[in-house]
Amino acid sequence: MRRRAFIGCAQCLALSSLLGAAPARAQGDWLAPPRFEKPDLGTDEGGLWAMMDREETRLRRSPFLLRDAGLQKYLQDIACKLSGDHCPDVRVYPVRTPFFNASMAPNGMMQVWSGLLLRVDNEAQLAAVLGHEIGHYMQRHTLERLRDVKSRSAFGMFLGMFGLVGLVGQMAALAGAFGFSRDQERQADQIGLTLMRRAGYDTREAAKVWENLMLELAAVHGGDPSQRNPLFATHPGSAERSATLRDLSAADSEGRLGEEEHRRALAGLQQTMLEDELKRGQTGETLALLNRLIERQPARADLLYTRGEARRLRAGNDDLDQAQADFERAIALGTEPAEAHRALGYLHRSRERHDLAREAFGRYIDKAPAAPDAALIKSLL
């Protein structure tokens, strides 16, 4: 299983593969449970909490942790709006990993990956994903299934999915090792909508999260993401899930979107997230994502540069012509990252347009004289 298979909520997939069969309440009747007390260490639940506490300590020290106080507070505030009385027990950690994922451990530790933050269009869509994970937490799905895990190897895999080290590589094995409960996923979706509604968010945005991911994967995998991605193969059918979320939110009045708040929270991290997305090496998926983002925000030079760079690196058919158009459009906006000039220089150089390449490289050096590759570019000049 290659890394591209995990663009979905991979850890959410693994968690929901471990769920029990507790009956779901009707959405309107669901009541949040009281806050959980920390269990005695002598119990199976207490042992699990202790292990999760150790993983949380590792996470705090991890180089993957995004140490941005503003972003962390933003995410923590959303989680608190959704979790209500459970807010003091929820701790949110933004993690620099370019895949769509959020997860929550039984001790209240939540991870939100940068690939998710890049892909949601507004705070309401982000709240839909976090609310889903909080629903799993409040229903104690993980603990229920833990008691049914008998073998030591399965238990070790179960614990391993909460750690960052080797996490992505473990998802295929986890998805295949445990049965999957679609009913529990449906229940978490319903609870997530309830939490969104109570917090004042526009619940109609929840269906759009799923639809956007479907479009991204379908653009590459022939219209059937389930053939390549265990998330789409094991969750409720995409058409069913989108339709169900739309139906459950159809009667709701307009709620809060939080689009500007979301943009402000990510403002200082967007370039890093876009660079990480390029490094994933899944150009088709990346272009589908960027096409959608540019359609929504056509005057963002950083998005145009990133799309051009993805096309330049792929260099198939009309890619170089389209890349040049993206670079030039980004530069014309006047807010382009310096890297747009470097990329345009490489493109001209590959086509033996040496005068144009020198001109572009020179502009790059002028804009970023202290860039790590400045000496290399000067040598090309």
pLDDT band at 174, cuts 50/70/90? very low
Residue 185 in any domain: the answer is: yes
For residue 28, pLDDT over 80 is answered with no
Same domain, yes or no: 238 and 283: no
Mean pLDDT of 24-36: 73
- Average pLDDT on 330-351 reads 97
Taking the C-alpha atoms of residue 255 and residue 201, their distance in angstroms, rounded to an integer, is 5
Same domain for 196 and 238: yes
On whether residue 264 sits in a domain, the answer given is no
Q: What is the mean pLDDT of residues 120-140?
A: 94
Is 194 in the same domain as 242?
yes
Single-letter amino acid, residue 331:
I
Domain final position from 189, 216, 249: 249
Shared domain check, 144 and 16: yes
Q: 244 and 274 share a domain?
A: no
Q: How confident is the model at residue 7 (pLDDT cuts 50, 70, 90)?
A: very low
Is the confidence at residue 59, as pLDDT, over 50? yes
Residue-range definition of the domain harbouring residue 211? 3-249
Is residue 202 domain-shared with residue 325, that is, in the same domain?
A: no
What is the rounded average pLDDT of the residues 78-99?
96
Tell me whether residue 254 is in a domain. no
Q: What CATH number does the domain containing 365 carry?
A: 1.25.40.10
Partners of 65 in the β-ladder: 95
Q: Where a domain ends, among 218, 249, 280?
A: 249
Residue at which a domain ends, from 193, 215, 249: 249
Count of residues making up the chain: 381
Residue 156 lies in a domain: yes
For the stretch 255-304, pLDDT in tens is: 999 999 999 999 999 999 999 999 998 999 999 999 999 999 999 999 99
pLDDT at site 369: 96
Within-domain flag for 212: yes
- Are 134 and 278 part of one and the same domain? no
Q: pLDDT class for 244, splitting at 50, 70, 90? A: confident
- The answer on pLDDT for 15 being more than 50 is no
Task: Identify whether residues 75 and 218 lie together within a single domain.
Answer: yes
Measuring CA to CA, which residue among 146, 127, 141, 21 is closest to residue 76?
127
Number of domains in the chain: 2
Q: Answer whether residue 211 is part of any domain.
A: yes
72-76, 176-180, 316-320: least confidently modelled range: 176-180
Residues 140 and 48 in one domain: yes
Q: Evaluate whether residue 306 is within a structural domain.
A: yes
DSSP string for residues in 215-243: HHHHTTTTT-GGGT-HHHHHSSPHHHHHH
Check whether residue 173 and residue 204 sit in a common domain. yes
pLDDT of residue 363: 97
Nearest to 104 by CA among 35, 56, 165, 147: 56
